[in-house]
């Protein structure tokens, strides 16, 4: 596609439920990133995938968070047993790391509200 897309754009869920957030990167981009943006804050890095390498999960805040990526395409971020502090905008980005420019292109984000 022309840009990074994410779905859903908004998600409201009850505390304790599991949620799945989806990201479609730009075609051909080998690297994919997930970030969390709490209200009024900067972005926090969560995880990235790069080609066939093991993902860097160093930013995941707890074991309730996990992510998968199928090849060099779609990624899903799963939050289990959601808590109110998980409410945030979750942003996905992709980059073509072979280009050497390292520019990350961001999607519009998913706003998650845990009630």
Partner 1 sequence: AQTVTQSQPEMSVQEAETVTLSCTYDTSENNYYLFWYKQPPSRQMILVIRQEAYKQQNATENRFSVNFQKAAKSFSLKISDSQLGDTAMYFCAFMKHVKRGGADGLTFGKGTHLIIQP
Residue 85 DSSP code: G
Q: Which of 56, 64, 76, 87 binds partner 1 (CB under 8 A)?
A: 56
Measure Cα distances from 41 to 35, 91, 99 in Å: 12, 13, 30
**90 scored as a contact of partner 1 (CB under 8 A):** no
Residues 18-47, mask of contacts with partner 1 (x by CB under 8 A): ------------xx-x-x----xxxxxxxx
**DSSP codes, 50-78:** ETTSPPB-TT--STTEEEEE-TTS-EEEE
| Residues at the contact surface with partner 1, assessed by CB under 8 A | 30-31, 33, 35, 40-48, 50-51, 56, 58-59, 89, 91, 93, 95, 97-98, 100-106, 108-109, 111
């Amino acid at each position: 596609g022309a840009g990074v897309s994410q779905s859903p754009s908004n998600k409201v869920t009850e505390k304790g439920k599991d949620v799945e957030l989806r990201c479609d990167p730009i075609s051909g981009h080998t690297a994919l990133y997930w970030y969390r943006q709490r209200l009024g804050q900067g972005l926090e890095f969560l995880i990235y995938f790069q080609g066939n390498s093991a993902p860097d999960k160093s930013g995941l805040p707890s074991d309730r968070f996990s992510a998968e990526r199928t090849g060099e395409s779609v990624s899903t971020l799963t939050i289990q047993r959601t808590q109110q502090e998980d409410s945030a905008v979750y942003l996905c980005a992709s980059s073509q790391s072979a280009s050497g420019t390292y520019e990350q292109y961001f999607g519009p984000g998913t706003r998650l509200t845990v009630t």
